[in-house]
A and B are shown apart, each in its own frame.
Chain A
Amino acid sequence: MAELTYRAAVAHGIAQEMARDERVVLVGEDVAGAGGVFKTTVGLLDRFGPNRVIDTPIAEQAILGAAMGAAMTGLRPVAEIMFSDFFAVCWDLVANEMAKTRYMTDGQVSLPLVVKTGNGGGLRFGAQHSQSVENWAMAVPGLKVVTPSTPRDVVGLMAAAVRCDDPVLFFEHKGLYAMKGEVPDGEVVDELGTAVVRRTGADATILALGLMVPRALAAADELAARGIDAEVIDVRSLVPLDTRTILASVAKTGHLFTVEENPRLLGWGAEIASIVADEGFWTLDGPIQRITTPHIPLPAADSLEDLVLPSADRIAATVEKSLQT
C-alpha cells in the first residue's frame, strides 16, 4: 500500500497502463514537459519518452480528432482536455464522431480511447472553469462516463477505461487533486459500471459523485450524531449506471437523495430519480430529493461558490428535514 494524492494517482494509473501496453499514448496541452497544469501527468514524459507523451498545439478539436484517428490505427490514446468546460469547444468530436463511430461502421471500427479532464468546482475558478459536465456526456449514446472520488478508484477506473474498447470520458475532480488515499501495490484494475457503497445505513440513501462523495460522507456523520443512519453510495460510473446497487439501497432505506454539483435541470440525479420512480416507486417512503446547484453559472467568490455548491451541512439539513416530514 502506498499513500498517494488523487493527482499523483492519475499519473500512477496512466503509467500502470503505459507500462503494460505500449499502444497507450498520452496527448494534451502541457501534459509532457510541465507534467500537466494540475500536475496529473508528472514523470510520464521522463519514463515513456516524447513518442508516447505528447504536448499538442492548443487546439482541443485537434486533440480529440487526433486521438480518434490514432485509435483507428490500434493505439489506445489517453487524451487530456485541460478543463472539462472546454469540451464545449470540441463537442463535435465527442458527440458526433467518437461516440457514433462503432455504430455507424456496423461495429467494424473500435475507438479504444480515454478522454481525461479536470472537472468540477470548489477552486474559485469561476463560470467557465468550474463546471461539472458529466451530464453532458451522459446524454450521448456511445460514451462511457466515469468520475472517481478516491486515489484508489482513480487508478482502478483509469485502468478499466484504458482497457475498454469504447470511448470513455474520465472526469477527474479538480477539488480532489490534493486528497490523499491508499492505493494497493501491484496492478489495480476496477470495473466500469459499478457503484460503491461507501457507508452503509438504514434510514436514507445518499448518492454522490466526485467531490460530493466526501461531502455526503461528512453529512452522514452529522446525521449519525442526530440519530439518522444514512447510506452513502459513490455512483462513480454514470454510463453504464449501476442501478442494481442503487435500487437495492433504496429498497432498504425508502429514501433517496442525490448530491450533484451540476445545475438542477437535467443533472445526472434527475435521470436516477426517474429510474427509481419507475422501478423502485413502491419501495419509497418519501419524495426523492435532489441537492444541486441552482440554474445559474458558478460564481468565483469564495462565499458565493460555497453557498452554491452542496455542502455537508446543506446535505445533512435536507435529509433531516425530509425525514422529519
Chain B
Amino acid sequence: MTASPELVQLLTPEGERVEHPDYDIELTAEEVRSLYRDLVLVRRVDLEAVSLQRQGELGIWASLLGQEAAQIGSGRAMAETDMAFPTYREHGVAWCRGVDPLYLLGLFRGVHNGGWDPYEHNFGLYTIVIGAQTLHAVGYAMGVQRDGAETATIVYFGDGATSQGDVNESFIWASVTNAPVVFFCQNNQWAISEPLEKQTRIPLYKRASGFGFPGVRVDGNDVFACLAVTRKALADARAGQGPTLVEAFTYRMGAHTTSDDPTRYRMAAELEAWKLKDPIERVKAYLFKNQLADQAFFDKVDEEADQLGRDTRRRCLELPDPEPVAIFENVYSGPHATLEEERDQYASYLAGFAE
C-alpha cells in the first residue's frame, strides 16, 4: 500500500497525523484513547479465541488480526439506531455494537447459534454464505426508507465476496432504490488462498462508479480514517443521498480460519511488510508523540485486556452444553404435527438410554 491520492489516510503508520481535503476528523484525546482501548481489547479477545481453538475448545475461529482499525473505525462511526450486517469476521464491529464476545465464542464453540438479539444490538447474524448479507442489508435499508426512519444500514463483506452475484445485485438494487446503505468492503487481500488478482483487475472501490454511486478507498489500518470515511458515508445515507462503497484497504494477518494454513500459498515477506502498518502501533505512537497518554495508560489498557482475555476464557469454558430437546426449537414459529411427532420419537428414544 503506497500512500496515494486515492487512499484516504489520516494517520500514517508512523503515527503522524495527515490532512485530507475531503475527510477530516476532530478527535479529543479522550476519544483517541478510547479508540486505542477498543483496538487492543478486540485484538486480545481474538487472540484468546485463537488459543481456545488450538486447545480444542472452539470448533473453528476466523481471526480479525490486522483488521481491528477497519472494524473499530467503522463500528464506532455508527449511530445507535444504524443497523449492521456482518460476515463471520466482524468481532470488532460486534464489540462496538455491545455484543458480548461470549456470544461469538459460543457460536464457534457450537453450543448455540450466536444468540444475540439483532434488534437489541442492531447487529445481524454472522453470515458465512459469502455475500448473502449484502442483499439482506439492501432490503433492510429499503424497509427503513419506507418507515421514514433516519437510519443507515452498513454491510460488511470481503474482497472475495465482490465476485459474487449477490453482491453485485445488491449494488444495483441499492443504486436504483437510492437505499440508505453503506457497503463496507474489508479488502484484506486474500479470500482463503486466493489473492485479490483472482477477483478483480481494478481497485475495488472503483467498481462503485459503474453502479452509479460513490466509492472510496480508505487505509483500513488507520482507525481515524475509517471512522471519518464511514461517518460521512453513513451521514450521506441518512440524508437520503444513497449508497457508498467503502473499500478498507487492509491485510489478513492470520490464517483465513484456524483450519487454514496460509504458508501453503502466500509469502512471508508480504506479511512482514504489513506488520509495519499495524493498526494499533500507529495509534500508540500518535498518543505517545503528542503526549496524549502516558505509560500508565498503556499499562492499564494492557491489564484490562489481560483481564478480559482471562474472563472470556473462563466464561467460554463455563458455557453450558445445550439440552437435547433444543434441536427442535425455533425451526418454526410454533409447533406442528410433523415436528411434534419427531420430538416425541426422540424423547422416547432418549428415554430408552436413561432406563
A: which residues have CB within 8 A of B? Answer: 29-30, 33-35, 37, 55-59, 61-62, 85-86, 88-89, 124-129, 264-265, 294-297, 299-305, 307-308, 314, 317
Asked if B339 and A294 make an inter-chain contact with CB atoms under 8 angstroms apart, the answer reads yes
User: How far apart are the CA atoms of A314 and B343 in the complex, in Å?
Assistant: 16
Is B161 positioned at the interface, with any CB of A under 8 Å from its CB?
Answer: yes
Interface size range on B against A: 35 or more
Asked if B192 and A37 make an inter-chain contact with CB atoms under 8 angstroms apart, the answer reads yes
Q: Which of B59, B192, B326, B331 contacts A34 (CB 8 A)?
A: B192
Residue of A nearest to B322 (CB): A301
Which A residues lie within 8 Å of B349 (CB)? 314, 317
User: How far apart are the CA atoms of A265 and B321 in the complex, in Å?
Assistant: 28
Residue of B nearest to A33 (CB): B265
User: How far apart are the CA atoms of A30 and B338 in the complex, in Å?
Assistant: 40
Asked if A124 and B59 make an inter-chain contact with CB atoms under 8 angstroms apart, the answer reads yes
User: How far apart are the CA atoms of A275 and B175 in the complex, in Å?
Assistant: 52
Asked if B110 and A58 make an inter-chain contact with CB atoms under 8 angstroms apart, the answer reads no
Q: Which of B110, B129, B163, B166 contacts A300 (CB 8 A)?
A: B110
Is B111 positioned at the interface, with any CB of A under 8 Å from its CB?
Answer: yes
User: How far apart are the CA atoms of A85 and B346 in the complex, in Å?
Assistant: 26
Interface string of B246-281 (1 = CB under 8 A from A): 000000000000011000110000000000000000
Binds A, one of B27-35, B193-201, B204-212, B219-227: B193-201
Which B residues lie within 8 Å of A300 (CB)? 59, 110, 113
A-B contact pairs, 26 of them (CB 8 A): A29-B191, A29-B192, A34-B265, A35-B264, A55-B194, A57-B163, A58-B163, A61-B165, A86-B129, A124-B110, A126-B110, A127-B113, A128-B128, A128-B129, A294-B339, A295-B331, A295-B339, A299-B327, A300-B59, A301-B321, A303-B322, A304-B322, A304-B326, A304-B327, A307-B327, A307-B346
Q: What secondary structure prevails in chain A residues at the interface with B?
A: loop
Interface string of B38-64 (1 = CB under 8 A from A): 000000000000000000000100000
User: How far apart are the CA atoms of A275 and B113 in the complex, in Å?
Assistant: 38
Asked if A59 and B165 make an inter-chain contact with CB atoms under 8 angstroms apart, the answer reads yes
What's the least CB distance linking A233 to chain B, in Å?
A: 24
What's the least CB distance linking A113 to chain B, in Å?
A: 20
User: How far apart are the CA atoms of A37 and B264 in the complex, in Å?
Assistant: 11
Which B residues lie within 8 Å of A314 (CB)? 349
B: which residues have CB within 8 A of A? Answer: 59, 110-113, 128-132, 160-161, 163-166, 191-194, 198-199, 259-260, 264-265, 321-322, 324, 326-328, 331, 338-339, 342-343, 346, 349-350, 352
User: How far apart are the CA atoms of A30 and B262 in the complex, in Å?
Assistant: 12
What's the least CB distance linking A96 to chain B, in Å?
A: 15
Asked if A55 and B198 make an inter-chain contact with CB atoms under 8 angstroms apart, the answer reads yes
User: How far apart are the CA atoms of A1 and B160 in the complex, in Å?
Assistant: 41
Asked if B328 and A58 make an inter-chain contact with CB atoms under 8 angstroms apart, the answer reads no
Which B residues lie within 8 Å of A88 (CB)? 129
Which B residues lie within 8 Å of A296 (CB)? 327-328, 331, 339, 342
What's the least CB distance linking B141 to chain A, in Å?
A: 22
Which B residues lie within 8 Å of A37 (CB)? 192-193, 259-260
User: How far apart are the CA atoms of A305 and B326 in the complex, in Å?
Assistant: 11
Q: Which of A34, A58, A61, A124 contacts B130 (CB 8 A)?
A: A58
With A58-B199, A126-B113 given, is the CB distance from A294 to B342 under 8 Å?
yes
Which B residues lie within 8 Å of A55 (CB)? 193-194, 198
What's the least CB distance linking A309 to chain B, in Å?
A: 11
With A57-B163, A58-B199, A296-B328 given, is the CB distance from A29 to B194 under 8 Å?
yes
User: How far apart are the CA atoms of A48 and B259 in the complex, in Å?
Assistant: 26
What's the least CB distance linking A240 to chain B, in Å?
A: 30
With A89-B129, A299-B326 given, is the CB distance from A33 to B193 under 8 Å?
yes
Which A residues lie within 8 Å of B338 (CB)? 265, 295
Q: Which of B132, B160, B166, B352 contacts A317 (CB 8 A)?
A: B352
User: How far apart are the CA atoms of A307 and B342 in the complex, in Å?
Assistant: 13
What's the least CB distance linking B43 to chain A, in Å?
A: 26
With A33-B264, A301-B321, A303-B321 given, is the CB distance from A58 to B128 under 8 Å?
no
Which B residues lie within 8 Å of A125 (CB)? 59
Which B residues lie within 8 Å of A128 (CB)? 128-129
User: How far apart are the CA atoms of A303 and B324 in the complex, in Å?
Assistant: 8
Residue of A62, A302, A317 with most chain B CB atoms under a 10 A cut-off: A302
Which B residues lie within 8 Å of A302 (CB)? 110
Residue of B nearest to A86 (CB): B129
Q: Which of A34, A59, A304 contacts B164 (CB 8 A)?
A: A59
User: How far apart are the CA atoms of A264 and B264 in the complex, in Å?
Assistant: 41
Asked if A301 and B165 make an inter-chain contact with CB atoms under 8 angstroms apart, the answer reads no
With A34-B264, A35-B264, A304-B324 given, is the CB distance from A57 to B199 under 8 Å?
yes
User: How far apart are the CA atoms of A302 and B109 in the complex, in Å?
Assistant: 9
What's the least CB distance linking A26 to chain B, in Å?
A: 15
Which B residues lie within 8 Å of A35 (CB)? 264
User: How far apart are the CA atoms of A2 and B52 in the complex, in Å?
Assistant: 37
Q: Which 9 interchain pairs have the tightest Cβ spacing?
A: A34-B193, A57-B163, A300-B110, A294-B342, A58-B160, A59-B163, A301-B110, A33-B265, A30-B193
